[in-house]
């Protein structure tokens, strides 16, 4: 491949709702550009992009894939991302290192909830984009219906640049509203505009030209004066309008029939921005990209492979990165040795000498570098704003299947979390479970498969236990005297404690009001230590205790028999008595829940939330969707990812975060306590 840089590279991310055909489209583009010799298919696992065993098995994209090709003297780095909401982290990473996006819409299903979601992300990122209506050969495909749905749901700035010629079995090509030519078949044979479409051609061409003219005063005068606008003026100003976000052109085709991919590649090189035209998001503020400036590169993906080791994908914004060089990781404040650099295409690696500004590459076996880190030079360090990943919404408890899995499980989990920033691993102290948190049940099922395949660790997953807490509701006093006499030195520690509930039910507090040395100062820390141990297990159901202020106000000691251990025991036992007398209650975690759901399903979702002890706080309409906000006990929504998917056929998404602890209703407390008793027995 010849050298490419800021002036002749396009970094383009493919986005869509799951199943719109991004991977098939990327395959058709690679084939058209001559980057691959045969057209692979998702169905038989032969596509360049979906090469992981999990992707082949499930027939969905799980990881982003880097797919470079050359077209019209330019390099196009296509990043194919998963459309499935569980793998939103990969999509966010792909978007972060691209200047522009292609949003793929299925001609039969139209605009789906995932389409609206990726549109929202692109709007927030102010990304210039194209829309490609795919699957024109499918049953029920209807180009005009889909265009009108796009315009009503995503906005009137979406305008057809092409019209589809035919549909379903009779789909044969596209008619271009600027060149006024038709392109038929997989070889895009040029021809006349079809007369059958004349009314639609006139209507949509008029709208397109008017929108292009509107962005330039001289052009709008020409247009209103009835003068002819030249094709060059139309093209130049359409590009301007796309870069400003004033127009989003709509194209059409069929990836499986390989119709329209070449016209899409033409549109990318003609209309989408080059790296030189987009600012870099540095932590010190936006900057102009430069190939002569000191190195600044962002790591956007890390894969852990048991054979190759770690593979790190990065995008160079400034300067150049060379094989066998030394770089500085400004995020970790550490030096990294760069070995052989690669250009990736799916799973194939092509060794290269260097990666220039504006381009994307990969390197193996970096020591400290992870996703989101900046690579630069030590004498001129830079920090690129890292990628913002969403918080996990779905948890499962992970248990090793056998003795041999116990030792390897921790390492495998941390390697997975390093590879995928939307996976989080933590230990839940209240229940002693290892929790794996991700974006949904499929996400975690894939993680478990990966652990088995990559690291040879077999695990079982189950719904986590709810991390309840215990607290008191009234002030109580308790006394405990620890006294033992068994020849020689005895044991003696005596404390009087006052326990009071803290209104915020936050962390426990400790204070002392000892006067006159009834408990010597050197024994007070031992009392506190005893309390810390007693906090771990409450008296109702053995859950940790929170929200209690304990004051040591009196006690006594023995000059010979007292010791730290005696006061530690006395403190712990007095605390347990005090909890018993303080009318203890169970507390449960209450979560903030946000559900984005199509308007027609809002009633079902609210009805379901009412059965889950939820408090609906409000509802905000956003286009054709509603955002429902509610607080709901964690115990009721442990499997919400699965419930929501089945209630809405995957058309709704949600986010969840911990808010506070609240008292468990009495009848539920009785059940939990009885269950704990049964477990003990």
Apex CA 468: angle with CA 464 and CA 473, to 5°? 175
Evaluate whether 5 touches 356 at the Cβ level (below 8 Å): yes
Average pLDDT, the chain: 92
Q: What is the DSSP string of 101-120?
A: EEEEEETTTBS-HHHHHHHH
Tens-place pLDDT, residues 635-660: 999 999 889 988 988 778 888 999 99
Q: How far apart are CA 87 and CA 85, in angstroms?
A: 5
CATH number of 470-583: 3.30.230.10
Closest alpha carbon to 128 in 100, 158, 150: 100
Report pLDDT for 2.
61
Tens-place pLDDT, residues 375-420: 999 999 999 999 999 889 899 999 999 888 888 998 899 989 988 9
Task: Return the CATH class of domain 586-677.
Answer: alpha beta
**Residue listed under structure tokens 């265009």:** 147
**pLDDT reading at 1 higher than 60:** no
Report pLDDT for 284.
78
Q: How far apart are CA 415 and CA 113, in angstroms?
A: 32
Q: How far apart are CA 282 and CA 317, in angstroms?
A: 10
Report pLDDT for 218.
86
Evaluate whether 396 touches 461 at the Cβ level (below 8 Å): yes
Q: Do domains 280-376 and 394-450 have the same CATH topology?
A: no
Q: How far apart are CA 652 and CA 384, in angstroms?
A: 33
Closest alpha carbon to 545 in 586, 495, 504: 586
**Which tokens hold the place of 196?**
């059958």
Tens-place pLDDT, residues 508-539: 999 999 888 899 999 999 999 999 999 999 99
State the fold for domain 9-277. Rossmann fold (3.40.50)
**pLDDT reading at 487 higher than 70:** no
Q: In terms of DSSP bridges, do strands 374-376 and 325-329 run parallel, antiparallel, or are they unpaired? A: antiparallel
Report pLDDT for 580.
94
**pTM for this structure?**
0.85
Domain residue limits, the chain? 9-277, 280-376, 394-450, 470-583, 586-677
**pLDDT reading at 110 higher than 60:** yes
Closest alpha carbon to 419 in 480, 457, 371: 371
Architecture of domain 394-450: 2-Layer Sandwich (3.30)
In CATH terms, the superfamily for domain 280-376 is Translation factors (2.40.30.10)
């Amino acid at each position: 491949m010849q050298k490419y840089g800021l002036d002749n590279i396009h970094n383009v991310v493919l986005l869509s709702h799951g199943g719109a055909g991004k991977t098939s489209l990327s395959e058709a583009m690679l084939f058209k550009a001559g980057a691959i010799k045969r057209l692979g298919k998702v169905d038989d696992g032969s596509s360049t992009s979906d090469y992981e065993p999990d992707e082949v098995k499930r027939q969905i994209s799980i990881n982003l894939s880097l797919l470079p090709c050359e077209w019209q003297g330019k390099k196009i780095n296509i990043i194919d991302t998963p459309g499935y909401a569980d793998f939103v982290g990969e999509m966010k990473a792909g978007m972060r290192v691209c200047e522009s996006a292609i949003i793929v819409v299925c001609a039969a299903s139209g605009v789906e909830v995932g389409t609206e979601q990726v549109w929202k992300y692109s709007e927030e990122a102010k990304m210039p984009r194209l829309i490609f209506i795919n699957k024109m050969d499918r049953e029920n495909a209807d180009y005009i219906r889909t265009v009108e749905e796009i315009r009503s749901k995503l906005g009137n700035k979406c305008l057809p640049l092409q019209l589809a010629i035919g549909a379903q079995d009779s789909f044969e090509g596209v008619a271009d509203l600027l060149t006024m030519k038709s392109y038929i078949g997989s070889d895009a044979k040029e021809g006349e505009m079809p007369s059958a479409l004349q009314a639609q051609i006139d209507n949509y061409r008029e709208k397109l030209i008017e929108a292009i003219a509107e962005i330039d005063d001289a052009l709008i005068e020409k247009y209103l004066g009835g003068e002819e606008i030249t094709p060059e003026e139309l093209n130049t100003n359409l590009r301007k309008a796309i870069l400003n976000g004033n127009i989003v052109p709509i194209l059409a085709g069929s990836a499986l029939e390989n119709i329209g991919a070449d016209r899409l590649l033409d549109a990318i090189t003609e209309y989408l921005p080059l790296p030189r035209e987009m600012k870099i998001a540095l932590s010190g503020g936006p900057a102009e990209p430069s190939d002569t400036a000191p190195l600044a590169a962002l790591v956007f993906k890390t894969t852990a492979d048991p054979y190759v080791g770690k593979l790190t994908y990065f995008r160079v914004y400034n300067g150049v990165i060379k094989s066998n060089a030394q770089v500085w990781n400004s995020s970790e404040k550490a030096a990294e040795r760069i070995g052989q650099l690669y250009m990736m295409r799916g799973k194939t690696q092509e060794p290269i000498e260097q990666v220039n500004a504006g381009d994307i590459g990969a390197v193996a076996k970096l020591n400290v570098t992870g996703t989101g880190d900046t690579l630069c030079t030590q004498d001129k360090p830079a920090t690129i704003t890292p990628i913002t990943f969403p918080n996990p919404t779905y948890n499962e408890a992970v248990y090793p299947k056998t003795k041999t899995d116990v030792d390897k499980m921790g390492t495998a989990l941390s390697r997975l979390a390093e590879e995928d920033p939307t996976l989080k691993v933590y230990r839940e102290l209240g229940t002693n479970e290892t929790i794996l948190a991700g974006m949904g049940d499929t996400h975690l099922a894939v993680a478990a498969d990966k652990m088995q395949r990559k690291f040879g660790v077999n695990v079982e997953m189950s719904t986590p236990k709810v991390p309840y807490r215990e607290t008191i509701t009234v002030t109580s006093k308790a006394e405990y005297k620890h006294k033992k006499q068994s020849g020689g030195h005895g044991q003696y520690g005596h404390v009087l404690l006052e326990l009071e509930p803290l209104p915020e039910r936050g962390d426990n507090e400790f204070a002392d009001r000892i006067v006159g040395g009834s408990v010597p100062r050197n024994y007070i820390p031992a009392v506190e230590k005893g309390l810390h141990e007693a906090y771990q297990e409450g008296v109702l159901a053995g859950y940790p205790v929170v929200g209690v202020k304990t004051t040591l106000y009196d006690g006594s000691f023995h000059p010979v028999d007292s010791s730290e251990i005696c006061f530690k025991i006395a403190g712990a036992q007095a605390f347990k008595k005090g909890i018993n007398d303080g009318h203890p209650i169970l507390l449960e975690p209450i979560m903030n829940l946000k559900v984005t759901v199509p308007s027609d399903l809002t009633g079902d979702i609210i009805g379901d939330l009412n059965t889950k002890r939820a408090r609906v706080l409000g509802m905000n309409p956003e286009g054709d969707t509603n955002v429902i906000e509610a607080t709901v006990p964690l115990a009721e929504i442990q499997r919400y990812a699965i419930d929501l998917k089945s209630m809405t056929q995957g058309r709704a998404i949600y986010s969840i975060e911990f808010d506070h602890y609240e008292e468990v209703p009495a009848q539920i407390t009785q059940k939990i306590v009885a269950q704990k008793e049964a477990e003990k027995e």
